[in-house]
Structure 1
Amino acid sequence: METKTLVINGIPRRLLVNPEDMLADVLRGQLQITSVKVGCGQGQCGACSVILDGRVVRSCIVKMRRVPENAAITTLEGIGTPTCLHPLQKAWIYHGAAQCGFCTPGFIVSAKGLLDVTPNPSREDVRDWFQKHHNICRCTGYQPLVNAVMDAAAVMRGEKKPEEIEFQMPADGHIWGTRLPRPSALAKVTGVAEFGADAAYRLPPETLHLALAQAKVSHALIKGIDTSEAEKMPGVYKVLTHKDVKGKNRITGLITFPANKGDGWDRPILNDEKVFQYGDALAIVCADSECNARAAAEKVRFDLELLPEYMSAPEAMAPDAIEIHPGTPNVYYDQNIEKGQDTRPFFEDPNNVVVEDSFYTQRQPHLPIEPDVGYAYLNEDGKLVIHSKSIGLHLHGLMIAPGLGLDFANDMIMVQNTTGGTFGYKFSPTMEALLGVAVLATGRPCHLRYNYEQQQQYTGKRSPFWTTVRYAADKNGKLLAMETDWSVDHGPYSEFGDLLTLRGAQYIGAGYGIPNIRGKGRTVCTNHCWGAAFRGYGAPESEFPSEVLMDMLAEKLNMDPLELRALNCYRKGDTTPTGQEPEVYSLPEMFELMRPRYKAALEKARASSEGRIKRGVGVSLGVYGAGLDGPDTAEAWAELNEDGGVTIGACWEDHGQGADAGTLGTAHAALRPLGIPAEKIRLVLNDTSKAPNSGPAGGSRSQVVVGNAIRVACETLIEAMRKPAGGFLDYAGMKAEGRDVRQPGKWSAPARDCDANAQGNPFCCYMYGLFLAEVAVDVDTGKTQVEKLTCVADIGAICNRSVTDGQIYGGMAQGVGLALSEDYEDIKKHSTIAGAGIPDIKMIPDEMEIIYVESPRPDGPFGASGVGEMPLSAPHAAIINAIANACGARVRHLPARPEKVLAAMPR
């Protein structure tokens, strides 16, 4: 240990430090400066950026022995405060650049470092700077961040007035459809938003810090677990195994389709009989510090009998493969689709044009910058309270309670922390049950934080699809029939696997009026990472093959790919693959808007292809339903406050998408008859002890289903306040007349579940996106650069334009990663944020354009549909089609890394 003086945000601080500790840990742990975030912990994400003696550094990889005496360190707190914002912070709010907000402090600090040395940067200067300093964002698609830096720089140079980067409330006070900043923006840009790992520093002294002892093989029988050496390690309070779990020690999938051959109880909380995947948790070490807990976890020993490892669907489907879950076949669910007539005659007719091919979409990792983290305790009523990144609070409580030996309604409370992105992996419970086991076994508060390797190895990923599709069309290009076959590699745990497989039936060929369809899909149990929801949930896997095959059909017909799609897109009389009539028919208008942009892009690509750089253009059509299948339901409440304001209660979970903005915008629109200003609408969100069951934040359901519940609650409150002679009672008047100032709202989607042949009306609202990708391919190396992305989007009437812009930019950016770089196949190589292929700012085009077509949805609140899933439904297919247009390389197996592009080029 040594003493060292650091000048922190202009104030000298004398510290006793370990020279081997990282600067980030000293700032966070010893000085409680929690605006400094630790994401990857390996200098790959930039969330921990600070300015050290005038240089931007990643503090998670700077050891204290390298920090000079009297070093000047600037963190976000030294740049601006909630009452005195720096122009960068103002611009970040104005441009919606803080979505989940976890990377925001690092970006703003890094941007401050840039403007200190380059006060008049170009957009490319900004992008180069963030690239050089490894600042990574998973939410925004980067464009809003660059916009914010450019505007802040203009204000600092005196070329713009500060009020030009501040939201101006419309004269009528109506916020629906505006760019009103999300309510959480101020906290995020000033670093006071408290994420799960930040809360660890505020927990009581008796808190235990947890570490997992995890399997380093993918399939084995557990013969024994030896915790004796771990229990002797410094600071260890207790080491827990499955013997310490008080309930069934299983997490239930909760909803399992009748045709599922499993029972949904296949995921252990702590593995007891078998290891099913690499990273399975076999023991929990509870200690006085995370460091001591992790050291002790390395001392837990396992006696394992290795079994064959089936790391893909084809391997697990092989005739000689053993059952991974004894008694349940590895292919445990089959999904048929039958629409219209028998398809065979259409494929046998020699007058028709037929195309067929096979495709693979990979095990895409979610790659949030914040790793999974949570804490739990017993409250004064003896209830187990779990705080986590859950985006399905009531759902998760019901999934884990039996395994813990509890009754969710009476024994548990679930609360969502400020969450650094999830993109769907937290639709499944991850650490929640582990925290519950530890608290119930020790009686003490417990905190668990994954490092990035654990984030990759323990949490779920997008399930790979192995898909074959056939089209039959007449010679004019009109689609007549489609045949499909798809296998879903869902890993070892079945939760929601059958639902995901149904998505293949719902979305392969979506967007086109295909009258006759036959196909079959299946869910396959494997030993690779378990499948979790990921933005798009089934659509990117399904629409990639059907959209690439559309280009192949166009080539065979000698027809333009855009015009082939326009010919076949939904029009009156057409139905979806499930036989449902679309709620709006806006696709022809969307094609009209895209057509001139597409033609201009083709001309530009032809004119600028030269030498080894070939440019190309690709299009794709993406469709997604807003909701969970069938009569999806949500609840909310609205309460009149004494000061005339209204409080809204709902569990509209927020994984960065803007739940607070959606709640506020929807409630404000519903409460317009009362004339309540936006600032007097308060939100009580995401605590099951205070807010009702609004359902999980998944499937782009929240704006439609939860939004309608909020609308109903507000309308019910208005009716309760109405005077017989006109006007409304105030709070005192309501109380005097004995009227309830809190009114409930409940809404169910007017939709119908699909039958055994995938026919039905599963969603009342859909989202539609038409994508245009412009790429440059180096034919010598096979490297692809996406130069521009365009999206014509119909998501209904827009609640908050800043939020929806951010969702679409971010979704398209994730589409670049899905198309070109992201994977979790090699368990060790892909266990870092960089190794898994996360796109940096120079991979994502600065040119991203959104054109909205706002077709009001009959069943959406104030005409709105959802947004989150649509932008990742099909942009990757447009990119792959653009590569083929550029150089003739048709990649069918994602991601399209350079070597695959080279191998696919015509010789």
Structure 2
Amino acid sequence: MAKEMTEAQVQSSYHVKNLTINGVPRRVIGKPEVTLLTVLRDQLKMTGTKRGCDCGQCGVCNVILNGKVVRACITRWKNVPEFSQITTIEGIGTPDNLHALQWAMIVCGAIQCGFCTPGFITCGKALLDQNPNPTREEVREWFSKNWMACRCTGYKQIVDAVMKAAAIIRGEEKIVDLAKMYKPGDSVWNTDYPRPSAVYKATGLWDFGDDDRLKLPEEFLFAYPYSVEGVRHAKVNKIDVSEAEKMPGVFKVVTYKDVKGTNRIRGQVGCASALTDGWERRIMVEEGDKIRQWGDVAAIVCADTEAHAREAAAKIKVDYEPLPELIDIYQAMAPDAIKVYDDIEGYDGMPNAWNKRVFTKGDDPKSDLDKAEYVVDDEFLSSRQPHMVLEPDCGYAYYDEEGKLTIASKSICVYRHQMMIARGVGVAPSKIRVIQNNMGASFGYKVAPTNEPYLAIALIACGRPVYMRINMKEHNIRTPKRSPFLMHIRVGADKSGKLVGAEQTWWVDHGPFSESANDLTNKGGQFFFSPYAYEKMRATGYTCWSNHRWSAAFRAYGAPQTYWGCETAMDMLANKCGIDPFDFREMNLLEWEPFTENPRGQFPSGYAPEVFPLPEMMKKARPYYEEMKKKAAELSTDEKKYGVGVSIGIYNSNDDGADEAASNIELTKDGVILYNTWEDHGQGADIGCVGTAHEALKPLGLAPEQIKLVLSDTAKAPNSGAAAASRSQVMVGNAIVDSCKKLLDAMRKEDGTYRTYDEMIAENIPVFYEGYTQAMVLHADGSTEVCSGNDKDTGLGKPFGFHMFAVNLAMVSIDMKTCKAHCEKFVLVGDVGVINNYLVVDGQQYGGIAQGIGLALTEDFLDENKYNNFVVMGLPYIKDIPDELELVHVETPRPLGPFGASGTGEMPLSAPHIAVCNAIHDACGVRIKAIPATPDKIKAGLEELKK
């Protein structure tokens, strides 16, 4: 009789199973407690199946096991039956032989970053295998019960794709060869031509950062950044890594003592009003310094495996003295609050409110507001919205063939990160190379350097290449979030309902670091009641330190906070005036005309936008609004109330003030190559570049596939700036056009025809050209002026040459028993100029709406002990977003945009949440002033109304 196994033997035992994976018989060995996901990815190198949350909440790892969809990250190897049939994305189709659902996902624009795409396709195929004729609601129910999450799309285009694939399977539609969707001579610009990367994302062949890890040379160490869990504010006395260094597999434990540079990150404060110089953020925690937020890194454990690195990290001891924690803006601005910075030379005694921004327009409005017939005087608080990407932070570092310290990460501003970390890690910027990996979305958090400095320090200290990945729980806790704004607003109207003036004081909770905080704080003034006509305004904003998450860019940076106060106050003022909120907004729109000097036609910064399509947009929105109001009245019962809300949002499409971009082009025998740093969050940089260049090079008659791209590598491409501020289509687009014009000028013969590549070489004419552009504002005489920042004393300036506009309409239901609000329908009337690619723009706008609904109703980031997974943080799943999403495009050509384009990415998240919350008030009378509008807040509001 066999001797009973010890626990250690059980842990080290292996289970061998005979399986059929993607139609191929395989004998696979695995440890019983590892997950099916680990076996597929780490052992079989089937990286099409992605690793996301690792707790069954996102569905990116879904595979088909014996005909059923399973989440591979929570399916243990020991529970996989012998002789199982497993289908992963690799077994569904190939680029040359696409499954109907893969093809439909591509042509419906259902693929953005692509990280969730294999999970959706695998899950969707399982549905179609058993039900080739589903309804849209059945598709949504299927994805809901299988925990499929997408943060990019808003889900509508994914459902569209399943319905189209079902029609193909039933023989009602046909797959069209993607290569035949373009005919010679056609434009790619202003069409729905599929993005080039979509076919590879649909087939699981698009490698993301953690996929790269499994294909790196064996010399790479795993680098784990260790932080003291649960500590937000403390003085550090000693960091002891001695026991950790003795652990198996450990190569080195890196601390601040190993840092060759200043151990500081350049924070880009960018304003004379700040009390900090922007160098306050240190990279590694130092003895004698402070921990200022949960996640500050005290050591980096570099080992042969992730398991060994984590086991060693558990042996690190940090002796510290806890200090009072400032976890919200109220605590940070209290008169007796402890100072976040009181122990660094040059910062000692710095107040928590370290930056002041002032915006003025016309005379002081105080007396007019005192005399106004109708006044709203109230306080509004926005939330610390989490980005909730599905791919955790990851990246790797090595020395390239020229000896450059090379970092491959999720960076969306490769040149900026190169500069931000150089002095801190002790390497000249020219010796640092940053490359963007294919990434599972960002939504702005990767404007901030997260793992880049740690990768550099670990590489230098170890002399060995390193890979770094934190798990999803750590990612959620440690990465930056959207800054909450506390806004006190006073706004008034006369007897007729016309605005007479506005006042505001706002406080920005920016966490313990200053990165880009000035631009963020400025938004509170730049877009303060910006759609509306009024002559007098005073607004003062303060940026404050706290010990909660440090803040980085998040889609529509600053606008969701600013409009949360302004557009809520507009609704309240409309109610006081007794005027319908839609009518009230329409009657108070800017009195705009080109180049107007009338302050009632200018933004708070004292200039008129380049276009102002809102009057036309309101006309297009009105029929939808009236129909939704009628439907809400018909549906409302005592048990369920329905209401309709409206909001307006405007956002910029270039960086604040001076902004520039470069893009190069090279003519080859086969076509052209573009070189730039249009970084891709998943928004479609590839088709952005191809569409723009294809239109600019039309005389050459190139096919889209003849335009090759070398993107987002500081060693190969010029600095095009960050993929932020919705600037890429405008700024990089204009630089692309400039380079294309130079190439065409060089190729043009006297008779108007164009030289071939061989003729260019034979005539010794250069085939490489540099494109460049600056952000400009246009004058009445046709001349241009470089954009300028806001004056620190008045707020006046011309920071933006390009803008985007949105009218948002939401219909919401309130369950009067549970007090839960649900968005039933959403209509976005948007103007982003002439559209490059409709699939991309539609996807961006649907996704922005979905994030806005989440911001309104569920999303928040409070206590890190609990707010560390998607469910608690309020990620909107498919049933949380209505299928009734409608987009209405108004394409007003921008005079200085490439072929009339502006940006698009941030407009749809500028103000949709206010429409949702205004609809709550319309439905049940509860006015939400602090988002998200959770059931407990609605219940409290209803109880207050009863009093």
State which of 334, 350, 367 in structure 1 corresponds to 2:356: 334
Instruction: Please give the alpha-carbon distance, in whole angstroms, between the structure 2 residues aligned to 1:481 and 1:164.
Output: 58
Match of 2:59 in 1: 46
Give the deviation of 1:81 after TM superposition.
1.0
Give the deviation of 1:323 after TM superposition.
1.8
What code does the residue aligned with 1:859 have?
L
1:605 aligns with 2:632: yes
1:682 aligns with 2:702: no
Match of 1:406 in 2: 427
Give the deviation of 1:845 after TM superposition.
0.5
Instruction: Please give the alpha-carbon distance, in whole angstroms, between the structure 2 residues aligned to 1:659 and 1:112.
Output: 28
Pairwise CA RMSD? 1.2
What code does the residue aligned with 1:869 have?
E
Instruction: Please give the alpha-carbon distance, in whole angstroms, between the structure 1 residues aligned to 2:751 and 2:484.
Output: 62
1:56 aligns with 2:60: no
List gaps (5 residues or longer) in structure 2. Answer: 1-13, 343-347, 777-786
State which of 482, 494, 501 in structure 1 corresponds to 2:514: 494
State which of 795, 802, 818 in structure 2 corresponds to 1:765: 802
Say if 1:254 and 1:398, in contact at 8 Å, map to a contact too. no
Deviates more, 1:154-163 or 1:740-749: 154-163
Say if 2:284 and 2:299, in contact at 8 Å, map to a contact too. yes
Gap change, CA 1:841 and 1:68, over 3 Å in 2: same
**Structure 2 counterparts to residues 460-539 of structure 1, below 5 A:** 460-539=480-559
Say if 2:58 and 2:148, in contact at 8 Å, map to a contact too. yes
Give the deviation of 1:829 after TM superposition.
1.0
Say if 1:709 and 1:746, in contact at 8 Å, map to a contact too. yes
**Structure 2 counterparts to residues 805-844 of structure 1, below 5 A:** 805-844=842-881
1:137 aligns with 2:150: yes
Aligned to 2:885, the other structure's residue is in SS state strand
Match of 1:866 in 2: 903
Give the deviation of 1:875 after TM superposition.
0.4
1:380 aligns with 2:401: yes
Deviates more, 1:562-571 or 1:139-148: 562-571
Match of 2:813 in 1: 776
Aligned to 2:878, the other structure's residue is in SS state coil
Instruction: Please give the alpha-carbon distance, in whole angstroms, between the structure 2 residues aligned to 1:832 and 1:454.
Output: 10
**Structure 2 counterparts to residues 562-573 of structure 1, below 5 A:** 562-570=582-590, 571-572=592-593, 573=598
Give the deviation of 1:256 after TM superposition.
2.7
Match of 1:432 in 2: 452
- 4+ residue segments displaced more than 3 Å: 164-167
Aligned to 2:379, the other structure's residue is in SS state strand
Say if 2:369 and 2:500, in contact at 8 Å, map to a contact too. no
**Structure 2 counterparts to residues 409-420 of structure 1, below 5 A:** 409=430, 411-420=431-440
Match of 1:615 in 2: 642
Deviates more, 1:720-729 or 1:860-869: 720-729
Instruction: Please give the alpha-carbon distance, in whole angstroms, between the structure 2 residues aligned to 1:607 and 1:316.
Output: 47
Q: What's the CA shift string for 1:464-496, capped at 9, x where partnerless?
A: 000111112111111120101110000001111
Match of 2:824 in 1: 787
Q: What's the CA shift string for 1:776-803, capped at 9, x where partnerless?
A: 1011111011011100001000000100
Aligned to 1:305, the other structure's residue is in SS state strand
Match of 2:371 in 1: 349
Instruction: Please give the alpha-carbon distance, in whole angstroms, between the structure 2 residues aligned to 1:463 and 1:838.
Output: 18
Give the deviation of 1:290 after TM superposition.
0.9
Q: What's the CA shift string for 1:634-668, capped at 9, x where partnerless?
A: 0000111123x111111000001111111111111
State which of 283, 287, 290 in structure 2 corresponds to 1:269: 283
1:582 aligns with 2:609: yes
Deviates more, 1:215-224 or 1:247-256: 247-256
**Structure 2 counterparts to residues 664-703 of structure 1, below 5 A:** 664-703=690-729
Say if 1:665 and 1:799, in contact at 8 Å, map to a contact too. yes
Match of 1:214 in 2: 227
Instruction: Please give the alpha-carbon distance, in whole angstroms, between the structure 2 residues aligned to 1:6 and 1:435.
Output: 39
1:752 aligns with 2:788: yes
Aligned to 2:870, the other structure's residue is in SS state coil
Instruction: Please give the alpha-carbon distance, in whole angstroms, between the structure 2 residues aligned to 1:165 and 1:415.
Output: 30
Say if 1:514 and 1:577, in contact at 8 Å, map to a contact too. no
Instruction: Please give the alpha-carbon distance, in whole angstroms, between the structure 2 residues aligned to 1:679 and 1:284.
Output: 43
Say if 1:94 and 1:166, in contact at 8 Å, map to a contact too. no
Aligned to 2:538, the other structure's residue is in SS state strand
Match of 1:242 in 2: 256
Give the deviation of 1:309 after TM superposition.
0.6
Instruction: Please give the alpha-carbon distance, in whole angstroms, between the structure 1 residues aligned to 2:16 and 2:675.
Output: 49
**Structure 2 counterparts to residues 360-379 of structure 1, below 5 A:** 360-379=381-400
What code does the residue aligned with 1:45 have?
C
Say if 1:465 and 1:488, in contact at 8 Å, map to a contact too. yes
What code does the residue aligned with 2:733 have?
G
Match of 2:579 in 1: 559
Match of 2:666 in 1: 639
Match of 2:327 in 1: 311
1:729 aligns with 2:755: yes
Instruction: Please give the alpha-carbon distance, in whole angstroms, between the structure 2 residues aligned to 1:119 and 1:447.
Output: 43
Deviates more, 1:777-786 or 1:160-169: 160-169
Say if 1:638 and 1:649, in contact at 8 Å, map to a contact too. yes
What code does the residue aligned with 1:348 have?
D
Q: TM-score, normalised by structure 2?
A: 0.94
Match of 1:302 in 2: 318
Deviates more, 1:507-516 or 1:298-307: 507-516
Match of 1:663 in 2: 689
1:878 aligns with 2:915: yes
Instruction: Please give the alpha-carbon distance, in whole angstroms, between the structure 1 residues aligned to 2:639 and 2:178.
Output: 43
Match of 2:111 in 1: 98
Gap change, CA 1:122 and 1:599, over 3 Å in 2: same
Q: Percent identity?
A: 49
What code does the residue aligned with 1:654 have?
D
State which of 448, 455, 459 in structure 1 corresponds to 2:475: 455
Aligned to 1:56, the other structure's residue is in SS state strand
Say if 1:151 and 1:165, in contact at 8 Å, map to a contact too. no
Say if 1:416 and 1:653, in contact at 8 Å, map to a contact too. yes
Instruction: Please give the alpha-carbon distance, in whole angstroms, between the structure 2 residues aligned to 1:65 and 1:166.
Output: 45
Instruction: Please give the alpha-carbon distance, in whole angstroms, between the structure 1 residues aligned to 2:127 and 2:188.
Output: 34
Aligned to 2:356, the other structure's residue is in SS state strand
Instruction: Please give the alpha-carbon distance, in whole angstroms, between the structure 1 residues aligned to 2:282 and 2:140.
Output: 45
Say if 1:167 and 1:180, in contact at 8 Å, map to a contact too. no
Match of 2:730 in 1: 704
Aligned to 1:769, the other structure's residue is in SS state strand
What code does the residue aligned with 2:644 have?
V
Give the deviation of 1:5 after TM superposition.
1.9
Give the deviation of 1:585 after TM superposition.
2.0
What code does the residue aligned with 1:752 have?
S
Give the deviation of 1:166 after TM superposition.
8.7
Give the deviation of 1:835 after TM superposition.
1.5
1:846 aligns with 2:883: yes
Aligned to 1:268, the other structure's residue is in SS state coil
What code does the residue aligned with 1:678 have?
P
